Structure 1
């Protein structure tokens, strides 16, 4: 087992990518702290993983004191902390015309500042364990979709945070910090988000090969499989790295707007 004996806090793990990462961590021998806003869903995850393998904390990750509470839950339940997965995020459409400053601040608070605060709160224990941080970003960090302005900026800032701390924390404290940037992933929220926009219930079965050369988009379990490498000792001294998990080369790829998925007329 690649994570045997490790304790991992996974923010935003009541569903989607975070849930898949938590499940895979336990399968690899770790114990996890499940976190999110959906108490019922979180309890389901904990029950599935068994209570001696998982603990639950429900709270807005950007609330004052939330990072410290997550660290305390790990220590109180499992006695140590080896890794942080910063997965919690708000994904919501916005562009230059619809993004006001209050909205922008909220996105940055959750997607960028809260991960920083959680790393800060966990750092003494990560230093003790010679542990690591894995930030979950997005390929949108490189530029972003037309209607994901604030989200894309927040993930770009997270990427710079990863590069910066990945160097300084490893050199000074022996703590590695890396990031994976998923592409388009078929999470529960993504399915419902598209349905709310007027798409068919099975919209994900018919996507242009411009966006899904493989004939489908990514599964949360595939992101989780990659996450295990960065959380395990297998990744050795590697730190400050950002890896894109997408089906095609991203940089320089600029599909015409006419190919972007649109809701049916």
Structure 2
């Protein structure tokens, strides 16, 4: 078992990628503390995973007391903390015209500031066991789309934080900090969001080649599988690294032959 006896804190762990990570961690021998915003969903997940291997805490991670509460939950329930997965995210559209101050403050609070504060609160315990942090970013961190301006900025900030802390914390505290940047993932919320935007119920079965050469997008379970390496001792001394989980290169991509023509017609 790759995570035997480890205790992992996962924010945004009630649904989607976070839930998949929690389930995979338990399968690999870990105990988990999951966080989210809907109490009933958290209770159901703990029941599914088993009360002896999972605990939950329903709280908004941007609340000032939240980081300490999350860490204390892990320590009081399981006696230690080996890893933090900063997975919780606020995803919403905005561009140069529509981005307003309250909106971008909330975006940065959830996606950039809260993860930093959680690492800060967890650091003494992670240092004691030479633990690790895994930040869940996005390929949009590299620039993003025109209508994901604020979100892309927040994930770019998270990526810079990973690079910075991955160096300083490993040197000073023995704590590894790494990040994965998933591409388009088929979560429950993504299915619902696209339906609300007017797309057909099974939109994910007909993804254009430009977005998915594999004719499909990622599943949460595939992202969770990739997380195991970074959370396990197999990762060794690797720190301060960012890995993109995408179907195509971010630079030097070979666009379909008919893409340019169809683009000009629009």
Q: State the alpha-carbon separation in 2 of the partners of residues 254 and 51 from structure 1.
A: 48
Could you tell me how far 1:21 is from its partner in structure 2? Answer: 0.4
Shift of 1:40: 1.2
Q: Which residue of 1 aligns with 2:101?
A: 101
Q: How does 1:1-265 map to 2 (within 5 A)?
A: 1-253=1-253
* Partner of residue 263, structure 1: none
In the aligned structure 2, how far is the partner of 1:63 from the partner of 1:133?
A: 20
Which secondary structure state, in structure 1, belongs to the residue aligned with residue 99 of structure 2? coil
Alignment size in residue pairs = 259
List structure 1 segments (4+ residues) > 3 angstroms apart after TM superposition. Answer: 252-259
Deviation at 1:253, TM superposition (A): 4.2
Q: Deviations over 1:20-79 (max 9, x none)?
A: 001000000000001000111111111100001000100101011101000000000000
**1:252 CA drift (Å):** 4.4
- In structure 1, stretches of 5+ residues that fail to align are 260-265
Distance 1:163 1:251 in 2: 20
Secondary structure at 1:97's aligned position in 2? coil
- Structure 2 residue ranges without an equivalent (≥5): none
Q: Which residue of 2 aligns with 1:262?
A: none
TM value normalised by structure 2: 0.95
* SS of the residue 1:5 aligns to: coil
DSSP 3-state at the match of 2:117: helix
* Aligned-residue offset at 1:180: 0.1
Describe the shift of the 1:208–1:253 C-alpha distance in structure 2 as closer, same or farther (beyond 3 A).
Answer: same
